[in-house]
A and B are shown apart, each in its own frame.
Chain A
Amino acid sequence: MSVRSDKQGMKIIIIGAGNVGSTLVEQLAHEGHDITIVDIVARKIQAITDNYDVMGIVGNGASYSLLMEAGIEKADLLIAVTESDELNLLCCTVAKRVGRCAAIARVRMPDYSKEVQYLQEQLKLALVINPEMETAKEAARILAMPTALDVMAFAHGQAELIKIAIPEGNRIAGMTLAEIGKKLPVSALVCAVERNGEVYIPSGSFRLEGGDTLTFAASRRNIRTFMDTFGFKSRRVRDTLIVGGSKAAYYLAQELIHSGVEVKIIEQSRERCDELSVLLPKAIIINGDGTEEGLLKEEGIERADSFVPLTGIDEVNIILTLYARKISQAKVITKINRMNFKSVVNSLELGSVIYPRYVTAEAIIAYVRARYESRSNSIETLYHLFDQRVEAIEFRVEEASEVTDIPLRDLKRKDELLIACINRDGHIIIPSGDDCIRVGDTVMIVTKHLGFRSLTEILK
């Protein structure tokens, strides 16, 4: 699954070797870029340079002389992901003055998150990322469609990729994809199926079985029809119990309250409870230890529609999930921040799992790939599916090329690749062989070939 190319990679400086920083190093180094990682703690740098082919520098990333040493003058991109928002913004500001690179900053404090637009414009940042907010948005999307294991939005939220598990004995089991297409009153496309650990990009003759996990694409409206047709519940949750009053919990509560869901947050620290009650007047804030069985029962975990443990400790989140699945019917979402034992986590059958560090990395990789390719095209969104074995990428078509204005059936496309959907002026098309790609569209492809940078790569 190597996606190296002979071309010289981009020169990228990453400041901050924390959770997100090291994930970025891992993924961007894998894509073949020249990376310099900066952190004030020598130990962290040592750990990263031992494991990845990157250069490490110890020091303060906002200092002019350090940035010079890191080669800011020739760098293409600077990504600031230290603990502190202010430091990240300062790093980007200094970098923009010294070099000609693009800059990405992580800003996650609620105070600034409302002003992201302003900050981005004034400081001329390429991207401002907020992993906590992205995590919350993803959780909110899943809670709006609780049968789904995962919900990924694209085409500005007009369409979604939905991942669901097929229970044994479900109506859809035993049907081929062609039959499903006939039965559905609306258009939707099954993009990828996981069976016994193998991932398939299915064709029309592919027959589904109970126990499969599938991902399908459809416009937002048609998703409910799909779910209802095949007997999946599509009702959104009415209330949510959140454990831990982190930033992500705040963003999630805000999203949910906005769409009319009752929110209850259990938080241990008294001061944080006070803050939250000011920030979220409509939520019920409970001051107590969310890992206490008695308290959870008292607050009605058994009857809750959904339950989201958002503590800072992965192990606690996992235990709480397992507990909730045991004693209640609630939809549960687990947030896992740092843990790497993906195979173990998968075997626990936690249901929906969110990895905030990957959420952030996806956004940045999408940006980097689009910038790296000289032709004018851009990647709107990028998702890694099924443990990064499948990529879903949404391209914006900005100029005519070998793939535009030709009916899809006449395009010699690579195997293991699907054109999942086309967004034409806000109108979602699930394409058939007669459709063609036009300039101005955004096109979502789902593929097992990793590392696409432009739409023309779909051709053989």
Chain B
Amino acid sequence: MNYAMIAYIVGAVLRIEGVLLLGPCAAALYYSENVGWYYLCVAAFCELCGWLLVMLRPKDQVFYLKEGCVATALSWLALSFFGGLPMYISGQIPHFIDAMFESASGFTTTGATVCQSVEALAKSTLLWRSMTHWIGGMGILVFLLAIVPLSGGSNMNIMRAESPGPSVGKLVPKVRHTARILYLIYIGLTILEIILLIAGGMSLFDSVNHSMATAGTGGFGVRNDSIASYTPYLQWVITVFMIAFGVNFNAYYFILFRQFRKAFSMEEVRNYILIILASIFFVFLSIRSIYGVSDGLRHAAFQVGSIISTTGFTTADFDAWPQVARTILVLLMFIGSCAGSTGGGLKVSRVTIAVKTVKKELAAYLHPKSIKKIRFEGKPVEHEVVRSINVYFITFLILFTGSVLLVSINGYDLETNLTAVAATINNVGPGLAKVGPTVNFGHFSIFTKCVLIFDMIAGRLELFPLLMLFHPAIWKEVCRRRK
């Protein structure tokens, strides 16, 4: 294990976070809020820690997949810790674990909050919460790759550890250029949304916050009722952008280079859109009697887009909706967005391939000696990919059920426990019952919150990088070196 290199990467991430923490400082200066000082202190501290780690510039820059995974997992833990620190010491969120929960929820783009009233928070804290979404959405290590030249081909191992999806491809031969293109698309779409929201009469502060939260498919709002009190136009804009940020970014790359046919023939994107349209239709049917046609359609589209892209904004209390609508929304949490987007969940591509394996298995019963390769995006899927997807589902299931069991110690009903875990592990945000859209996660015990923090980070990093930290082999060499 190349520990020096891992420390170097974590250090570089902390330095970037230190710079980003100046964002809320600027907001505090503008709105003359005292909490800005705390952000400034943490920024300096973060920069110092990062600088110390970067000082150990490793001679040997080679690292393999295991180092990539460990560096990613540790970076995210460090990121969440330092991100929560200013909220805690400034007293905005009085309890330490609560601050960590809020920060982890931000960076993993979950959007589950512990705050009773977000309107009571300082503007700088609100901005920081939205910024964590934006950074966490595309991934801070991808950002790192875009700006820091790391030698060798091994930097693909970082990209693989942080980017969502069963197989991570590149758009162009170099990781660095790929990362840059992704960020350019990301920034472009975010700015476009800000402009459209301002055009609809939203204030600059609100539109910047909402755009960053939408871009990262996060879900932290600036009002207690999330998006409900904004005009229908603004709600529709946010709906469209939520869905757009759940699309595989490769599609935008193709559109950017005028390869429209390639972009629209992406099987994953097509399935994603189909699932959304079908879900909106059925949810609409079930809630039409409550809201009427135009409002019903808007609410249905907004909630479906919000849940499948794992954003978690709300315009209506869907916990009070009929059972069909509630169930559809919970199922959408698990499907999630496309691979290579900023969203969470199991990913449409994984679900698509999994469904195809079932179909293949049925065919194998009919014709036991038949040989058939599963195809996805027009290409045969390697056995290795299918196997890793199956293992992913199993691991997800184990983690999910284990978490539900641990959360149940808290004593709440099954619906709360199930949806709380589902909403965090899939990085959605709101669940049902006691974690529904109108309530928050503040009432859970400290232990439960720790479990949920773990679920959020595990879900964002696609399980394995975080689980790797628990493999004894990773730490063996540290112990051995000490002796």
Contact = CB atoms under 8 A, between A and B. Distances in A.
A53 interface: yes
Interface in A51-65: 51-55
B155 interface: yes
Contacts of A172: none
A29 B151 CA distance: 10
B411 interface: no
Contact of B382 (A11, A34, A36, A42): A42
A72 to B, nearest CB: 14
B463 interface: no
Contacts of B65: 50
B382 A53 contact: no
Interface in A17-34: 29, 34
Contact of B153 (A9, A34, A53): A53
B172 A55 contact: yes
Contacts of A374: none
Contacts of A2: 151
B153 A51 contact: yes
A4 interface: yes
A35 B174 CA distance: 8
A34 B156 contact: no
Given A2-B151, A4-B149, A53 B175 contact: yes
A49 interface: yes
State the 8 A-B residue pairs at the shortest beta-carbon distance, nearest first.
A52-B153, A53-B153, A55-B173, A34-B173, A55-B170, A54-B173, A51-B153, A35-B173
Contacts of A51: 153-154
A30 to B, nearest CB: 9
B155 A53 contact: yes
A202 B170 CA distance: 46
A34 B65 CA distance: 22
B152 interface: yes
B142 to A, nearest CB: 14
Nearest to A36: B173
Nearest to B379: A58
A327 to B, nearest CB: 42
Contacts of B173: 11, 34-36, 53-55
B153 A54 contact: yes
A450 to B, nearest CB: 14
A65 B246 CA distance: 29
- The interface size bin for chain A is 10 to 19
Given A35-B173, A36-B173, A53 B156 contact: yes
Contacts of A34: 172-174, 177
A50 B167 CA distance: 12
Contacts of A4: 149, 151
- Which of B65, B154, B176 gathers most chain A CB within 10 Å? B154
A133 to B, nearest CB: 31
Nearest to A29: B153
25 contacts: A2-B151, A9-B174, A11-B173, A34-B173, A34-B174, A34-B177, A35-B173, A36-B173, A42-B382, A49-B153, A50-B65, A50-B156, A51-B153, A51-B154, A52-B152, A53-B152, A53-B153, A53-B155, A53-B156, A53-B173, A53-B174, A53-B176, A54-B153, A54-B174, A55-B170
Interface of A: 2, 4, 9, 11, 29, 34-36, 42, 49-55
Contacts of B155: 53
Nearest to B169: A55
Nearest to A51: B153
A53 B178 CA distance: 11
A51 B65 CA distance: 10
A11 B173 CA distance: 9
A53 B176 CA distance: 9
A35 B172 CA distance: 9
A92 to B, nearest CB: 20
A239 B373 CA distance: 58
Contacts of B151: 2, 4
A346 to B, nearest CB: 21
- Which of B153, B157, B382 gathers most chain A CB within 10 Å? B153
A51 B172 CA distance: 16
Nearest to B175: A53
A39 B82 CA distance: 45
Given A36-B173, A53-B176, 7 more contacts: A34-B173, A34-B177, A49-B156, A50-B65, A53-B155, A53-B156, A55-B173
- Which of A29, A52, A53, A55 gathers most chain B CB within 10 Å? A53
A54 B175 CA distance: 8
Nearest to B64: A50
Contacts of B154: 51
- Which of B149, B151, B155, B173 gathers most chain A CB within 10 Å? B173
Contacts of B172: 34, 55
B229 to A, nearest CB: 47
Contacts of A52: 152-153
Contacts of A36: 173
A52 B155 CA distance: 9
Nearest to A32: B174
Interface in B148-199: 149, 151-157, 170, 172-177
- Which of B157, B174, B175 gathers most chain A CB within 10 Å? B174
Nearest to A4: B149
A50 B65 CA distance: 9
Contacts of B157: 50
Contacts of A42: 382
Contacts of B175: 53
A161 to B, nearest CB: 30
Contacts of B152: 52-53
Interface in B439-479: none
A54 to B, nearest CB: 5
